[in-house]
Chains A and B, each alone.
Chain A
Amino acid sequence: MTAYIIRRLLYTIPIVFGVLLLTFVLFTLVGGDISLEIAGKNATPETIEEIREEYGFNKPLFLSWDSQFINHFKSALTFDFGRALDREPVLDKIKRGVGPSLALTVPMFFGVVIISVSLALVVAFVRGTVWDMLVVLICVAGMSIPYLSFILFGQYFLAYKWGLFPVFFSPDLAMASYVALPVLIGIVTGLGGNLRFYRTVMLDEMRNDYVRTAFAKGLNTRRVLFKHVLKNAMIPIITRVVLAIPFLFLGSLLLERFFGIPGLGYLMVEAIGSRDYFVINAMTYISAILFVIFNVITDICYALVDPRVSFD
């Protein structure tokens, strides 16, 4: 077991290396020296030189201990991402944004999972009927409406027109009140794809022999569904749930932008607008690390839960 965990952890090293290589190629080789853009139009050569010095654009790319390549790795491995374009340390910005982002994404995520799994069970209960087809149709239709339209119309009607929720974030509001509407919109948009996925999982499970046995024993549908099918369907559900957790830290780019919630998504949108490669780089790296860690956790959980998974 310990050997398995160690081996699994060793596998993450090339992935982290790859992510760093990719961000280096993207932001340093392709992105290049952006000191002119940082300095603005009327900058003196001295200012530009200072900026080059600060961000290390004047250092050699490779082949030196003080090269941009080595420094890129150093800063990532020590989690020291320097300063963003507005002179605030990148890490402080990120730390500040995690709270509001999680306040938005965690309730949204659990709302979506709980509602769609229970609805999927109900749909599996009435499979093959008109209701089933109707639910699938609504899901597909929901998936086809652009995310932006959900947000804009939700904000316009529920908050602006009918005044059920505050339209915009403001610091003196209670968290529950400004997060409520974005969470609601997030749940509605997420429902289509998720419900369809969980429905497929349930129906795949229904085709197994043990379900036939259970029915043959004379159990009623409710008992088969909740006692037998749900337990077995838990494995794909848990995988999907655990692997979605790292994405919760990212916040929701568009929801945060529309409702002015100062989370990580908002930070990202701002960074895109001002072409702040340093923030985007740090966000990319941190979310990749989180993803890798949760991937290892999922694999270990699998090995613990499912006796068919071997430790090789």
Chain B
Amino acid sequence: MTEHQQTIKKAPKGRSLWQDGLRRLVRRKLAMVCLVVVVLYFLLAGFLYVAEFFDWQVGPIRWAEEVGESYQPPSSNSIFGTDIFGQSVLRKTLYGTKISITVALCASFISIAIGVPLGAIAGYFRGFVDEIIVWIYSTLSSIPYILLILAFAVVLRDKTLFGHKLAGITSVYLAIGLTSWVGICRLVRGEIIKHKEREYVLAARSYGCSTRRIIFQHLIPNVFHIVIIDFSLRFVAFIHAEVILSFLGLGEADRPSWGAMINDARIELSRGVWWQMVAATLAIFFISLALNIFGDALRDSLDPKLRVQ
């Protein structure tokens, strides 16, 4: 056998959807830069949790400390100056990352945990179950989103649930999570309806797989890339929602968050104190921009049918 024949005999190795998408994604330089930015934000949030747990006295943990006089403008000493209490604005901004990332992550988990199973069940079983689930999400989606979140946040605030007081950010991410599953539920339902006629589902059924196994082991993994694409973009909306809720006084009260910083800045701006505002805006801007660009790239790589360009 010649060398030539040997190479022909080798069957071309198949690539999974994820490998294929990942290969396309890595080729986009800008998307990779954005991914690095997003990862940095997450690492910072994670680091703050660890530091708080072990009580390490790093800068952002000591945000309450007075570092100088009140309203010091930015200098080489402190990049973003100080606020009314002489606290470092940079430390507050860094600490705010933890709050924002926590809220957006928890809200994402809640809405995926509700939306994906409900959408899958509705799409798989159809009939009566489907109608009930469609009814629930049509009801939720007929109320303007911002009103719905605010209504949930106002009502849940300071309530006791299972002996646990819903203070601060808990009510915020519950409100966002409980109201945001509609979009993902609708998407998953539509995709499952398309997928359940495919051969692999028929094959699974002929092996004698239980319905639960078909839905959770076969169907959901095959449509999960849609969930990831959707949430990479939705994450931005969650961060912005947290900022607005904190701004309206429904969020974290005792610890610094970006929304609360903007709320402080509302009064400070007229005195010419702009640094707190700029710091919060930049912090939100960079993670939003990175997530927006990365989310678009992810969608283009994983789902060529949805391609925007």
Which A residues fall within an 8 A CB radius of B?
Answer: 14-15, 18-19, 21-23, 26-27, 30-31, 140-141, 143-149, 152-153, 156, 160, 200, 203, 246-247, 250, 253-254, 258, 268-269, 272-273, 275, 277, 280-281, 283-284, 287-288, 291-292, 295
Q: Which residues of chain A are near B152, meaning CB under 8 Å?
A: 26
Q: Which of B135, B146, B243, B248 contacts A146 (CB 8 A)?
A: B243
* A160–B270 touching, CB < 8 Å: yes
Q: Which of A30, A143, A246 contacts B155 (CB 8 A)?
A: A30
Q: For A246, give the chain B residue with the smallest CB separation.
A: B144
Instruction: Indicate whether A31 sits within 8 Å of B155 (C-beta atoms), given known contacts A143-B288, A145-B285.
Output: yes
Question: Closest 4 A-B residue pairs measured CB to CB?
Answer: A18-B139, A144-B288, A144-B289, A149-B281
Which B residues fall within an 8 A CB radius of A?
Answer: 135-136, 138-140, 142-144, 146-148, 150-152, 154-156, 159, 236, 240, 243-244, 247-250, 258-259, 262, 265-266, 269-270, 274, 277, 280-281, 284-286, 288-289, 292-293, 296, 308-309
* B135–A18 touching, CB < 8 Å: yes
* A253–B146 touching, CB < 8 Å: yes
* A272–B154 touching, CB < 8 Å: yes
Q: Which residues of chain B are near A153, meaning CB under 8 Å?
A: 277
Q: For A204, give the chain B residue with the smallest CB separation.
A: B308
In the bound complex, CA of A273 to CA of B248 (Å) = 8
Q: Which residues of chain B are near A277, meaning CB under 8 Å?
A: 154-155
Q: Which residues of chain A are near B270, meaning CB under 8 Å?
A: 156, 160
In the bound complex, CA of A160 to CA of B277 (Å) = 16
* A146–B284 touching, CB < 8 Å: yes
Closest CB-CB distance, B7 to chain A, in whole Å?
38
Q: Give the interface SS of chain B, mostly helix, strand, loop or mixed.
A: helix
Q: Which residues of chain B are near A146, meaning CB under 8 Å?
A: 240, 243, 258, 262, 280-281, 284-285, 288
Q: Which residues of chain B are near A148, meaning CB under 8 Å?
A: 243-244, 247, 259, 262
* B265–A152 touching, CB < 8 Å: yes
* B285–A144 touching, CB < 8 Å: yes
* A250–B236 touching, CB < 8 Å: no
Residue of B152, B262, B280, B309 most packed against chain A (CB within 10 A): B309
* A268–B147 touching, CB < 8 Å: yes
Instruction: Indicate whether A268 sits within 8 Å of B150 (C-beta atoms), given known contacts A145-B285, A152-B269, A152-B277.
Output: yes
* B285–A272 touching, CB < 8 Å: no
* A280–B142 touching, CB < 8 Å: no
* B308–A143 touching, CB < 8 Å: no
Closest CB-CB distance, B129 to chain A, in whole Å?
15
Q: Which residues of chain A are near B150, meaning CB under 8 Å?
A: 268, 272, 280
Q: Which residues of chain A are near B147, meaning CB under 8 Å?
A: 250, 268, 280, 283-284, 287
Closest CB-CB distance, B218 to chain A, in whole Å?
32
Q: Which residues of chain A are near B266, meaning CB under 8 Å?
A: 152, 258
In the bound complex, CA of A140 to CA of B146 (Å) = 22
Closest CB-CB distance, A137 to chain B, in whole Å?
9
In the bound complex, CA of A56 to CA of B266 (Å) = 39
* A291–B244 touching, CB < 8 Å: no
